[in-house]
Amino acid sequence: MITSYQYRLKPTYEQRRRLTRWLDMLRYQYNWLLAERFDWWEMNRSPINACFLTCSIAQPKEQPEYYGQKRSLVQLKQERPWYKDIHGHVLQDVVKRVDLAFKRFIEGDSKGKRSGKPRFKGNNRYRTMAFPSIKSECIQGNRIVLPKMGAIKFIQHRPTPDGFVVKRALITKKADGWYVTLTLSDKSVPDTPTRDIQPTEENSIGVDAGLDYFAACSDGTLVEPPKFYRQAEDKLAKLQVKRELRAKGTRARRKLNQRLARLHQRIARQRRQWHYELAGELLDKADVVFVEDLKISNMNPKSLSDRWHECPHCGASMPRDLCSGILIKKVGLGIASLKNAKSRKRDGEARALSVG
C-alpha cells in the first residue's frame, strides 16, 4: 500500500532563501528543457517531402528525449557550477516532468486523452521540488533530513504509521509557507483492503451527486452545497480592486497578492475539510455506500432542466436528485435495473454505473 502524509515545514531564514533559490534554478532548467523540445518539434516534426512552406530551413538534429536530456545535466553542472548545489535526483526529476508533460501533449495518457500544450513556468508558478529517493531514517525527531539541504524542522502533527517506509519527499511552497509531502509504502498492506460485508436494505445507502443539492441520499437526506467561494466573493473582489490600484512590482502589490493567495487557500481547505466531514457522516450512516459513475451521454429521457420527478404510475413526487439516490441504491442491491446501466459488486462494495 502507498499513502502520503503532509507536514508543515519550519525552515530558518537561510533555509527559506536556499529553498527559494533551488526552485528558481529548477524552473529555469524546466523552461530550457521544454524549449528544446518545442524547437525540435517545430523544425523537425514533418517529413522532408512535406515540410511547411513557412518554416525556416534548419539542419536536422537529434530529437530531445528523456535519457538524452538527463545526460545533458552533466554538461549543465560544468557550464553552470552553481547547479552543483542541487542534488542530482532533484534535477533528474525536472527532466521527468518535462518528458511527462510533452508526452501527454503529443501522445496522450494511457486512455489516449491528450493534454494541452505545456506552458513555460513563470515566477511563482513552479512551486514543487521532488526528492525521488530518500532514506527511511530521514525523520529524526521533529526534523527531516534532506540530501544537500540538511535538517529542517517540521510540525509532526501525527506520526507515520508503523511498518511504512519513506520512499519520496515533495517540498512545496504554498501561500502560507513550506510543506513536505512524504510518500510512504508498506508492501504487507494490500492496496484495496477487503471487508466481508453483505449489502442489505438496512446497512446500505445510495448517494446521488446532484445539481440542486451537493448530495441526495436514499434515506431522504438532502445536503446543500456550502458555497465557500460565494461567501468570500465580496472580500476577494475588494482585495482585487485594491491590488489593481497598486503599481506592478511594488511591495504593496506583492502583499496584496499574498493576501489573495491565502484567502484562496483558505477556501480550498474549507472545501476539503467539509468533504471529509461529509464522507465521515455518510460512513456513519451505513456500511455500504452506493454511488454513480455518471456519463452525460447516457442521461435520458429527462434533460438537466427537469429538476422534479413525477411518476405517472405510482404517483411519487420528489426532487429528481432524491429519486436518483433511491434508484442508485436499488440498482446497487440488484433489485432494479436500468437501460445502459450496470451494477458491479466487488469485495462487499458496489457502484451503480451510468445512472441519469
Whether 350 has a pLDDT exceeding 70, the answer reads: no
Which segment, 48-52, 125-129, 287-291, 339-343, is predicted with the most confidence on average? 125-129
Q: Using 50, 70 and 90 to split pLDDT, how confident is the model at 295?
A: low
Tell me the one-letter amino acid at 236: L
Q: Give pLDDT, residue 341.
A: 45
**Angle (CA) 70 26 259, round 5°:** 155
How high does pLDDT run on average in the chain? Answer: 84
Q: How confident is the model at residue 353 (pLDDT cuts 50, 70, 90)?
A: very low
What pLDDT is stored for residue 53 in this prediction? 57
- pLDDT at residue 289 above 80? yes
For the entire predicted model, the pTM comes to 0.80
pLDDT of residue 180: 95
**Of 42, 87, 91, the residue nearest 64 (C-alpha):** 42
Nearest to 6 by CA among 160, 162, 192, 165: 160
* pLDDT over threshold 50, residue 339: no
Beta-bridge partners for 223: 215
Is the pLDDT at 348 greater than 60? The verdict is no
Rounded CA Rg of the chain: 26
Maximum distance among all alpha carbons in the chain?
80
336: pLDDT strictly greater than 80: no
Q: What is the mean pLDDT of residues 322-339?
A: 74
Burial 102-136 (b: 16+ CB within 10 A, else e): beebeeeeeeeeeeeebeebeeeebeebbbeebee
Q: What is the mean pLDDT of residues 275-285?
A: 92
What DSSP assignment string belongs to 291-317? -EE--GGG--SS-TT--EEE-TTT--E
**What is the reported pLDDT for 349?**
38
Q: List Cβ neighbours of 79 (8 Å cut-off, separation of 6 or more).
A: none
C-alpha 85/C-alpha 29 separation (Å) is 14
Q: Describe the strand order of the beta sheet including 292-293 as a list of residue ranges.
A: 292-293, 349-353, 342-346
pLDDT in tens, 1-43: 889 999 999 999 999 999 999 999 999 999 999 999 998 887 7
> Which H or E element spans position 237?
helix 233-244
For the chain, which residues make up each domain, given as ranges? 1-47+57-193, 204-353
